[in-house]
């Protein structure tokens, strides 16, 4: 696990160095389109069931959590104009590199759930899922992008939690890049 954490730290630092200007441009675009705050933060569940604050570029109107359901669809009217592009390109996820540096997240792992989603799991599945750090991308995103059904997502998350590893992470990162390139070509 130490090799995975070192890999996460090095790649997150490199990504922040390379993506610093695009991230600044994204922050400016959010601010010009819909004002402040530029970042959205939310409590999520991490390693060993420990809560942490996840950061993303805000892609929805301010106070969107109070205006509608927890899960969103691509046609959700709360998504801002810039937010649609941020979500389609996954640029909204880039501030999570800070979560990786802090140790809250990994580059690869199950996507972090909000506390209420624990009710979607059997207790033994929740315990298994919480044995690994959540990730910016995971097996479900690599295989299905955002088209995964809840059952597919659960199966992929548990499959990863049963057998995490650096080589598997490299494969998942490569598959995620392919998914992003396919999505941007459409």
CA 145, CA 59: separation in Å to the nearest integer?
18
Query: What is the per-residue pLDDT for 106?
Result: 97
CA 170, CA 34: separation in Å to the nearest integer?
36
Domain borders along the chain are 2-185
Q: How does pLDDT run across 106-165, given as a tens digit for each residue?
A: 999 999 999 999 999 999 999 999 999 999 999 999 998 878 898 999 999 999 999 999
Q: How does pLDDT run across 79-98, given as a tens digit for each residue?
A: 899 999 999 888 999 999 99
Is 92 within 8 Å of 85 (Cβ atoms)?
A: no
Please state the pTM of the whole predicted model.
Answer: 0.89
CA 105, CA 134: separation in Å to the nearest integer?
5
Helices (H), the chain: 2-34, 64-67, 81-89, 96-102, 123-129, 139-144, 150-162, 166-185
Chain centroid to CA 7: how far?
Answer: 18
């Amino acid at each position: 696990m130490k090799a995975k954490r070192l890999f996460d730290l090095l790649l997150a630092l490199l990504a922040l160095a390379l993506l610093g200007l695009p991230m600044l441009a994204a922050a400016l675009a959010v601010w010009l389109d819909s004002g402040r705050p530029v970042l959205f933060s939310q409590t999520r569940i991490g390693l060993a069931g420990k809560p942490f604050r996840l950061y993303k570029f805000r892609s929805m109107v301010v106070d969107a959590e109070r205006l509608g359901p927890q899960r969103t669809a691509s046609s959700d009217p709360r998504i801002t104009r810039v937010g649609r592009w941020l979500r389609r390109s996954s640029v909204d996820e880039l501030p999570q590199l800070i979560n990786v540096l802090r140790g809250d997240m990994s580059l690869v792992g199950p996507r972090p759930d909000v506390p209420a989603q624990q009710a979607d799991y059997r207790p033994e599945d929740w315990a298994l899922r919480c044995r690994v750090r959540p990730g910016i991308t995971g097996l479900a995103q690599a295989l299905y992008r955002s088209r995964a059904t809840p059952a597919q997502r659960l199966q992929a998350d548990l499959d990863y939690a049963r057998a995490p590893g650096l080589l598997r992470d490299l494969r998942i990162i490569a598959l995620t890049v392919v998914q992003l390139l396919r999505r941007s070509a459409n």
